[in-house]
Structure 1
């Protein structure tokens, strides 16, 4: 009985690995048609606005703002920033606002292949897909996918849709301030807006706008060139 269970479990695991690798390979070349987060919005009666834009048609300020706000070591790590994870764990243990240590690669893996929530099991699958996309996609594709599937407002996905919603023009041309304010929305897109922001979003967006130049000068976006 145990041997049979192990055989069945082994076959299921092999099929999962094969199909997941194939899934990642396909999305290396084609835009993802939907995500589970988008599906959740539709099932709850909401709407989804999205428009795919290749990375070379997104203003470089946007990727720089995302790096400044979400993952300063994006170009130097291999999917996991253990320093950030340790720092987040320490700050959370001290109390106050909960902070995450997820990289852009991890967030992309979650946004594209998985669902929100789910606890440790989802985190395990997130780590698995993070390794796959780092290996198969590379940094440019990861950033391209991230900037196209990340939620930038309620029912709004990707920076192109976000730029049109907030600033009424394409993401092909974003000022550092515009890019910074979109990036400031990313951690809590259902509770923040980049247009006429106040409080934390305004302060954080303005700070990220200043850091855009720092990212450029220090070559923190070098893997995207």
Structure 2
């Protein structure tokens, strides 16, 4: 009887191991299918857009703007605001993360890179759980492996929310400044970059004193980085 119990236990362990291996392989294959095609294909929606459609019953579509048709002032403004080491890191800014963990919690500092934010927008949901952060890190690695930096930035600029229900630079240019993405000025680009931490509260069209101050800081950072030439090798 004892031997039979041991045998059953081993059989159960083997079945569980086989199930875990199959599940892991399936998840890995699915994640590849979700990331690799983005090297050539534009997403028709994102996880964040789907969540907003369900919660607010809005109809939101992505109006894609190729990187070449985006005013050069906007990519550099977003990089200067969100992720100044973007051209050089591999998806994670560990220095900024260390600072975020050690500074005063009353004044939290964002440490997510553009690649991490893109992973979150495309596939995940808002939150601070370790499970969600682990998935974010996993998809960030895949995006960095399969996509060039310029493509990552192009995707981010087209899926990020710039105002309530306004996703992507094309929609932001038309709805906030009544002009196409090709004609966004340096000042308007700084305003758009300034509201990215919380576009549902902060406004680029009717900027608060804080947004105006932040936009001025972003323009200063852009000059320090050397302008759009900073991104020429992406």
**TM-score normalised according to structure 2 size:** 0.90
Separation in 2, partners of 1:222, 1:100: 26
Alignment of 1:178-197 (within 5 A): 178-197=188-207
What's the C-alpha RMSD, in Å, of the aligned pairs?
1.6
Residue matched to 1:34: 45
Which of 151, 155, 159 matches 2:161?
151
Identify unmatched segments of 5+ residues in structure 2: 1-11
Verify the 8 A CA contact 2:173 2:179 in the aligned structure 1.
Answer: yes
Residue matched to 2:115: 105
- Residue by residue, what CA displacement relative to the aligned partner does 1:161-188 show, whole Å, maximum 9, x if unpaired? 1111211001112211100000011110
Q: Deviation at 1:211?
A: 2.5
Verify the 8 A CA contact 1:194 1:201 in the aligned structure 2.
Answer: yes
Separation in 2, partners of 1:166, 1:8: 51
Residue 56 of structure 2 aligns to a residue whose secondary structure is coil
Identify unmatched segments of 5+ residues in structure 1: none
- Residue by residue, what CA displacement relative to the aligned partner does 1:26-51 show, whole Å, maximum 9, x if unpaired? 12111111111111111112422541
Deviates more, 1:48-57 or 1:78-87: 48-57
Residue matched to 1:221: 231
Higher gyration radius (CA): 2
Would you say 1:141 and 2:151 are equivalent positions?
yes
Say if 1:221 and 1:192 are closer, same or farther in 2 by CA, change over 3 A: same
Verify the 8 A CA contact 1:176 1:212 in the aligned structure 2.
Answer: no
Separation in 2, partners of 1:115, 1:95: 23
- Residue by residue, what CA displacement relative to the aligned partner does 1:133-176 show, whole Å, maximum 9, x if unpaired? 11101101100000000111111101111111211001112211
Residue matched to 2:70: 58
Residue 152 of structure 1 aligns to a residue whose secondary structure is strand
Which of 102, 126, 145 matches 1:116?
126
Verify the 8 A CA contact 1:24 1:136 in the aligned structure 2.
Answer: yes
Verify the 8 A CA contact 1:71 1:104 in the aligned structure 2.
Answer: yes
Residue matched to 2:4: none
Would you say 1:71 and 2:83 are equivalent positions?
yes
Deviates more, 1:7-16 or 1:97-106: 97-106
Separation in 2, partners of 1:160, 1:191: 20
Q: Deviation at 1:214?
A: 2.6
Moved over 4 A (4+): none
Verify the 8 A CA contact 1:104 1:146 in the aligned structure 2.
Answer: yes
Residue matched to 1:86: 98
Residue matched to 1:95: 105
Residue matched to 1:9: 20
